[in-house]
A and B are shown apart, each in its own frame.
Chain A
Amino acid sequence: MVTRGDDRLGQLEVTISFGEDEVVVGVNGEVDLATAADLGAALTAALERGSPAVVDLTATRFMGVAGLRVLEIGAEQLAARGRRLTIRSPSVLVSRMLDITGLVDILNVEGAGEGPTAASTSAGGLNGHLRKVSAIPADDDVVDGALGLLVALARATVGGADGVSVSMRRRGHLTSVAATDQAILELDALQYANAEGPCVDAAIEGRRFHAEALDHENRWPAFTPQARARGINAILSSPLVAEDRPVGSLNIYSRTASAFTVKDQELASMFVTETSRLLGHAGVGVTDDQLSERLTRALQTRRSIAQAQGVLMERKGIGPDEAYTLLRRFSRETNQPLSERAADIAGSTRRLPSSVVHEQKEGPWLAS
């Protein structure tokens, strides 16, 4: 018999139970970028029903930013109908993330975990969870949304951080793919325009640039006075690396000189690791536009398969593995590609989930 590998991350089992007065989506395992689509499919199926929807996180071991993004999309869909999504029994860490990201404002939270929330945001506590996230590079809504949540988390947890952005090289030029607010986008843009600044140097040279106090800074004569004029006094830019090549930078800005302590710098490194994993995975670079398009298409297909699984799970009362096997056997018997069959099934529901995702492009943390 084939046995189950035990060293893999990202195992997730999603259940849907239709009660008389609510639909409960049970999330058992780890929600990261690889598995977030499964949760999204189940949530889409649950919301179809029109009953009050509950996402039960009692058995959730890990919720990454991609999972939060899925919850956000679901909550916004419901909000459009004047209702709220209920999150049941989130862990202390998830509660804290909902809080930091502002998602708590659009959700009902029931039975949040007990315990000292301050401890959950220490470098060690977050790192233990965040380092599990691994993901796929792509110009994809889930990735963009995840990056938006990530910069929000970085701003909230790195001491002294007043704004955070992610710069990436796309088509030979640096561009900001996520930022906590418009002023931060402008600071990035000034550096691109001047072709100098810590964010540019970190992205090109592939090492960290820490401008501790801008009033003593002489490395970037054009950019430094512009940053100071905008009230910025310290900047920490760390390189993002894919396949050993620098591809961008994570930039943390502070109004306070010498704001970033050693501990803050460690915390920043952790977010750099997280961001690099979000952007570059499986040994593929993120600057190759063709590859990026291919991955975007792959992510869309993958999502539509997960949605078809969700539809089959609901229609037939089966689990995700059985639903996948049905799709696969159909494809085998008819020689129709599995993805086409999945698109037919996913498209047979009233609301096409891909349109749902596109509607949400402008999330509150995406200042682009």
Chain B
Amino acid sequence: MARQLSDGLDRARRDAGLSHGELWMRYFELGGMSTALQLEAFLYGALRPTANDYDVVAHALNERFVELGGNHPVAYSEDEIDALEEEATP
């Protein structure tokens, strides 16, 4: 479940052209409370972020995509909840 939520986050980071350190800085700037190591663990799906924490990461990525001319391609937790619940059902 957490894997699905986090899946694609690290790909999005690469697409956004951000290093792990740069993403952490943006995440921290937006009020994120996890360490750089924890953030990496979120990106790789090794640690499950809270919904709020996930949304800060998603927003940090999305602001970068907006800078690059995109429009919030990374889904937020509220967008994902339905999909996740479907996937959680066997």
A interface list, Cβ under 8 A from B: 1-5, 8, 10, 34-35, 134, 136, 281-284, 294-295, 297-298, 301-302, 305-306, 321, 324-325, 328, 331-332, 335, 337-339
Contact of B24 among A282, A325, A331, A339 (CB under 8 A): A282
Interface majority SS on B: helix, strand, loop or mixed? helix
| B10 on interface, CB distance cutoff 8 Å | no
- What's the minimum C-beta distance from B89 to chain A, rounded to whole angstroms? 12
10 contacts between A and B (CB under 8 A): A1-B84, A2-B49, A2-B50, A3-B50, A136-B28, A284-B36, A301-B29, A301-B30, A331-B63, A337-B66
Q: Say whether, besides A2-B81, A332-B72, A337-B63, A298 and B50 are in contact (CB < 8 Å).
A: no
A295 touches B35 (CB 8 A): no
B28 touches A5 (CB 8 A): no
Q: Report the Cα distance A328→B77, complex, angstroms.
A: 12
B48 touches A298 (CB 8 A): no
A335 touches B66 (CB 8 A): yes
Contact of A34 among B33, B53, B77 (CB under 8 A): B33
B34 touches A294 (CB 8 A): no
Contacts of A8 in B (CB 8 A): 33-34, 38, 50
- What's the minimum C-beta distance from B20 to chain A, rounded to whole angstroms? 9
B59 touches A338 (CB 8 A): yes
Q: Report the Cα distance A3→B5, complex, angstroms.
A: 11
- Which of chain B's residues has its CB closest to A134's CB? B35
- Which of chain A's residues has its CB closest to B53's CB? A5
B85 touches A2 (CB 8 A): no
Q: Report the Cα distance A338→B66, complex, angstroms.
A: 12
- 7 interchain residue pairs of minimum CB distance: A282-B36, A298-B29, A2-B51, A301-B29, A282-B35, A4-B50, A34-B33
